[in-house]
Structure formats: C-alpha cells, structure tokens
Structure 1
Amino acid sequence: MDTKIVRKTNKNKYLLLALPIILLFGYFVFTSATKKRSVNVKRAEITIKTVENNFFEDFMSFQAKAVPLHSMLVNIIEGGAVQEIFVENGDMVTKGQPLARLYNPNAELAYMQQETAIIEQINNLDKAKLDLRNQELYLEKDLIGIEHDYLDGKNLFELNQKLFDKEILSKNEWENTQENYRFQKERMNIIKKSVKKEKLANQVQIGQLNQSIGFMNKSLDILRMNKKNFLITAPISGRLSSFEPILGKTYVQNTSIGSIDDRKGYKLIADIDEFYLDKIVAQQKGAVDFENKSIEVQITKVIPEIKNGRFQVELDFVSSEKLDLKQGLSFGVKLNLSEKTKTLVLSKGSFNEETSGKWIFVVNGNKAERKAIKLGRENPLYYEVLSGLKAGEKVITSSYKDYKEVEILNLE
C-alpha cells in the first residue's frame, strides 16, 4: 500500500527571514524620527558671545536736532501779490525792519472807501455837536433878554411902590406893575430851569458824541495801520529762516512765509518710535556728545500725538554753559530710562528676530544645542537674561534665519 507524502511549505521560512528585516527597518524609522536634526556650520559664518554678569543700564538712543528755543512766525496779515523783497533767507534782521511789500488794489480801494466813510461820520458827529453848542448859545441869548425884562420890571415895581405909597400912583397902575413884575419873575425862573435842563441834556449828548468820535478816530487809526500791513516787517530781532517769497506770487491772509529765531538759546526736538511712549516722561535725563564733551540734557515736553508710528519730544540743555550751536545740527541722544543694576546680560544680536527671546543656541565644544531661555529688558547693547543661561556660557547671537528647524549646529 502506498504512503501519502505531505509536501512541506516555505511560508514559515520566509516569515522568519522577513521578521528581522522589518524590525531593523522599524528601528531606523524610529531613530530617524527621534534623532535631533543637525546641520554643519562654519565658525566664521556665525557670531559667538559670552553670557556675563555686568551692569545693565536701561537706556535708549535716538537722533535729535537743534532748533531755536524761541522763534516767531512771519505772517501775512493782508493778502496780496509780492511787489518787493528787501531781505534774503538767513539774514539777521531787527524788529520793525521791512522784509517785503505786497500789493492788493482791491483791498487798498476798500480801505480808501472805509476811510472816507469814517471821516464823513466824524464830520457829521462834529456838526451835531456844533448844533448843540449853538442851541445853548441861543438859549443863553434868550435868557439874557428875559433877565433884562425882569430887571426892568423889578425897577419899575420898586419905583411905583414908592409912588403908590405917596398916593401919587393910581391903584390900577400899581396893580398892573405888580402883575408885570410877578410875570417877569416867574418867566425868568422857568426859563432858567429850562436852560439848566437843556444844558445838562446837551452835556450828555455831547459826551456821547465825543465818545463816538473817539471810537471813530480809533477805527480810523486802526484802518490806517492796517493799510501799512502790506509792508511786511520783522516782529522780533533775530535770524530770518524759511523765508522764500516769490515776486508776483499772491499770498492769502494769515499765511506764514518764514520765521525769525531770536538766537537766545536752543533746544532739541526728536521723533521717537511709539514703542517708547510709556517709557518716556518729562524730567528724564540723558546726554549728548558735543565737541568731544558729554553734555547733559533732559526731557522737557512729551507730545503724545502719534504720527506715522512716532511721537515727538523736546529736550533742554541742563548746563548753563553757552554752546555755539547752529539750527538743524543733529545730535545722538542717550536717554537713561533707569539706574544701573548688575545682572546677567547677553550682547544684542539678530538671533532675536527669529526666536523672539524664547530660545538660543548654546555652544559646547564643537556643537551648539538649542535651549529655551527668557529675556527681559533691553538696551542698544544688551539683553537682560531672566532664565535659561548662566554666566560664562557661550551662545550664538548671529541670525538664525537658516536654523529655525534645527536642534544642533555642528561647528567646523
């Protein structure tokens, strides 16, 4: 009887051979996934600095320019076309010195008409005042005649009284004399009271007329002064700047065509990034270098209005020493924001642009490994290190633009 032979399969054999390969491939995948990514870097291409304990001074630097401490604008009070120019930009001028002359025929004609109208009003008021004076004279004249009649009546009364007492004068004539005397007396008293009241009323009216005439004369003086505004003069003595009028060009009223600097002192003006707005206050002190000397300055005014991401500050020189400055001279200002304190500091570098102060490459021999850090305040020279680094450690402070995803740098 034949025996059935079972054929052996190679499936188990292949499985045993594939298993080590699978395990080895998995190991390589795992190690590749967990291995820190590294890149080779030449030392000459990077900047290495040492973390150190040093004095940290919170300060900032900015540019400021010198401007006159006091200046005054040269304004056009009456608009018109430039007819003459007597000085040039940059000239020294004295108060009241003619700078330019404008011409405006329409305005001059209007001034003439106004002047004529005012003079006519003054003449009318003078005439009214004269009429009141004449009225007083007429009343005085009438009063003199009435007083004369009264005196005649009185004399006749006294004479006829004597004649009546001696029974020479009839009773009828005596009564007529008495009545005439009474009439003249009452008439004179009434007229005197009327003249007195009229004089008082006239005095009030004349006072009012004189006041009106005074106002008219003042208006006339102002008008004549305004006519002189076509001649532009220097409001103060000093150096003329930004003065560039053009012959024949028409300038409207209240336009500024220059300024005059009194040259009695200078201040500094600077435009600063809005980031520092909350850090800068009046009375903060700083320094500028001038003629190889450090000159102390201080903030006198902070103008918080933001324009194009910047705000403006004014600084004065603390020293009373007179400095030979010129307008527009530029200074580098170092402004102290806090007192000096000793702390852990790191030299500034462009690495912070990519890391935002959250990590850095720490150098250890021929390698530099990524490490988490925390930075605090900064000034133009240093960052304040709050955590993650120790004094003496060396770090890379140059740009990390090509190393954002790298964990280790191999230094060659």
Structure 2
Amino acid sequence: MRDMATNRDTLAFFPRSPQAAAVESVRPVSATSGASMDQISMTRPPWWRRKTMAWLAVLIAVVAVAVIYSRSARNSLIVDDALVATAVARTESFRDFVPLRGQVEPRSTVFVAALQGGQVARVIATDGMIVTAGQPLAQIFNPQFLVAVTSQEAEITSRLGDISARTLSILRGRRDLEQNTAATEQALADAEDEYGKQKILFDKGIITRPRLDPFEAKRRYYRERLATIRRSSATELAVAAREQSRIRVAESQLDENLTTVRGTRDALMLRAPVAGRLTNFRLQPGQTVAPADNVGQVDSEGSYK
C-alpha cells in the first residue's frame, strides 16, 4: 500500500502525457483492490454536444409556450367593452326556432289551351303578370280557318235573307188581303145603298121589277164575295201566323249559328280563363301551336295549399 501511494505521488509530481491520461482513464478497476473502489472515473462531453443540448432545451421550451398560447387563444375571445352587455339573470321561456323547408303551391291552377291551331301573330301578355278573366293573351293566325268561318257566315247570312224575303211576302199577302176585304166591304156598302134607293122607287111603283133585279143581284154578289174573302182570309191568316212562327224560330236559330260562327273567329284569340297570375307562358311570335296545346296556366293569387 505504501508503494502504491508513493507511485501516485510520483505520478502527480511528474506530469503525464495526454495519451497516458486517456489510457489510465479507461483502465478497468480491479474488483480486488479496495482503493480503486474509492475512485470515480468521469469524462466531460465535447463542447459541440453541450451546445446542441442547450439549443434543444430552448427549442422545446419555445414550442411548449406556443402550444399553450394557441390552446388558450382558441378558448378565448377578445371583444370591445362597448359591445358587451350585461343583465341580471332571471328565468325566461326558451324559444327554439327550427328551420323548415317546403314548397308552396297555388290552391287552384287552370291551364290555358289553344282552341284553334295556327301561327302566333302577336303576344300581348307576359309570363308572371296578373290577368283578369277573359283578358287577351295572344293572337293566333290561321288563314284556312278564317276562310271556313267566312264561308259559313256568308251561307247563314244568305239563309237569313231568304227568311226575310218570306216574311216580307207574308206581310204583303196580308196587306193585299186586307185591302181586298176593305174594297169588297166598300163595294157592298155602295151596292146596299143603290139597292135601297131603287127599292123605294119600286115600292112606290115608279120602276118595275126588272129594273130592281140588277141592283139586288149586285148586292147579293158583294155579300157572297165578302163572306168568301173573310173565310179565306181567316185560313190564310192562320197559315201565315204558323209560317211566321216557323220563320221566327228558323231566324233565331240562324242568328245563334251566326253568333257561334263569329265566336269561333274569336277562338284565334287566346284569353285568360280565370283571374290570377299567368305562369309558364312562353309563346313567341311566329311559333306554331296545335289545337288543345297547353300554352300556359293561371294560378290562384293569394291562395295556396
């Protein structure tokens, strides 16, 4: 032991080379040596490793501060003091508004259909406007239909002219009958007057019987003629009355037919069937439509289902 202490003192007095110090620092310590157990072998890390560890510690601290700040920023809100309102807490009813989606449809819808086909000549109404019942919407042009309607109008007008001629003939026949009756009555009155005068002369013996007979025969003739005229006039008037009744019925029917035919001319004008809002109306001038084509619809305004 004394020799080992002397050796350590000698080594401490004489400086050692770096290689010898490194070899001694890594030399294993014998387990049987009690003095070697009291020695602690420590090596200092290099300078670059110490700086790296320091920078890593600083970086970890910065990241930790940033994470803590970001979490606190998400859970906080910075507002102006003037925008903050406070009140006393009290019990109130809670109202929760639930948004709902739905489709509003008109209560009634009437389609606008073309009564006659043809080409759109003029568009009067526009889609989305409020219309009244019977309001014109568009004008249709159909030359074939117009020619047919004009021919029917001419035919009905001609038949009405024939009926008017028949009515005029009946009126003329009645007038002639009345004139004939009046003339016969006047002739009978004259014959009665002449016969009365001649009868007075015959009763006084101034004239003879043969002189009186012609006046009596004339009176008898006009009496029979007047009776015949009255009987025939009654029959003719009854026939004329029935004829006039039939003529009036036929004339009324022809007038209705003429009104209907002229009304079909109005079928070329598209009109609103009811009052409401005009929708799906997209007619354009020059467009061709067929009979019964739906060209739009009129929806009830202010009434929905």
Query: 1:186–1:64: structure 2 CA closer, same or farther, 3 Å change rule?
Result: farther
CA distance in structure 1 between the aligned counterparts of 2:242 and 2:302, rounded to whole angstroms: 54
Tell me the equivalent position of 1:68. 106
The TM-score normalised by the length of structure 2 is: 0.62
CA distance in structure 2 between the aligned counterparts of 1:72 and 1:168, rounded to whole angstroms: 101
Residues 71, 262 of structure 1: 8 Å contact kept: yes
Q: RMSD of aligned C-alpha atoms?
A: 1.9
Percentage identity across paired residues of the two chains: 24
CA distance in structure 1 between the aligned counterparts of 2:282 and 2:236, rounded to whole angstroms: 64
Q: Which has the higher contact order (CA 8 A, sep 6+)?
A: 2
Residues 103, 230 of structure 1: 8 Å contact kept: yes
Equivalent in 141, 165, 174 of residue 136 of structure 1: 174
Tell me the equivalent position of 1:159. 197
Total equivalences in the alignment: 205
**Which has more helix, going by share of residues?**
2
Tell me the equivalent position of 1:245. 283
Cα deviation digits, residues 136-162 of structure 1 (max 9, x gap): 222222222212221121112211221
Cα deviation digits, residues 255-287 of structure 1 (max 9, x gap): 2211101224222xxxxxxxxxxxxxxxxxxxx
Task: Report the Cα offset of residue 135 of structure 1.
Answer: 1.4
Task: Report the Cα offset of residue 246 of structure 1.
Answer: 4.0
Task: Report the Cα offset of residue 239 of structure 1.
Answer: 0.9
Equivalent position SS for 1:169 = coil
Tell me the equivalent position of 1:198. 236
Shift >6 Å, 4+ stretches: none
Cα deviation digits, residues 146-183 of structure 1 (max 9, x gap): 12221121112211221121122212233333232222
Equivalent position SS for 1:102 = strand
Give unpaired runs (5+ residues) of structure 2.
1-100
**Which has more strand, going by share of residues?**
1
Question: What amino acid is the match of 2:248?
Answer: N
The TM-score normalised by the length of structure 1 is: 0.47
Equivalent in 125, 130, 134 of residue 92 of structure 1: 130
Query: 1:172–1:240: structure 2 CA closer, same or farther, 3 Å change rule?
Result: same
Question: What amino acid is the match of 1:177?
Answer: F
Residues 70, 264 of structure 1: 8 Å contact kept: no
Task: Report the Cα offset of residue 193 of structure 1.
Answer: 2.0
Cα deviation digits, residues 360-398 of structure 1 (max 9, x gap): xxxxxxxxxxxxxxxxxxxxxxxxxxxxxxxxxxxxxxx
1:114 aligns with 2:114: no
Larger-gyration structure (1/2): 2
Question: What amino acid is the match of 1:217?
Answer: D
Question: What amino acid is the match of 2:112?
Answer: V
Equivalent position SS for 2:298 = strand
Task: Report the Cα offset of residue 188 of structure 1.
Answer: 0.6
Tell me the equivalent position of 2:258. 220
Tell me the equivalent position of 1:80. 118
CA distance in structure 1 between the aligned counterparts of 2:275 and 2:286, rounded to whole angstroms: 27
Give unpaired runs (5+ residues) of structure 1.
1-62, 268-412
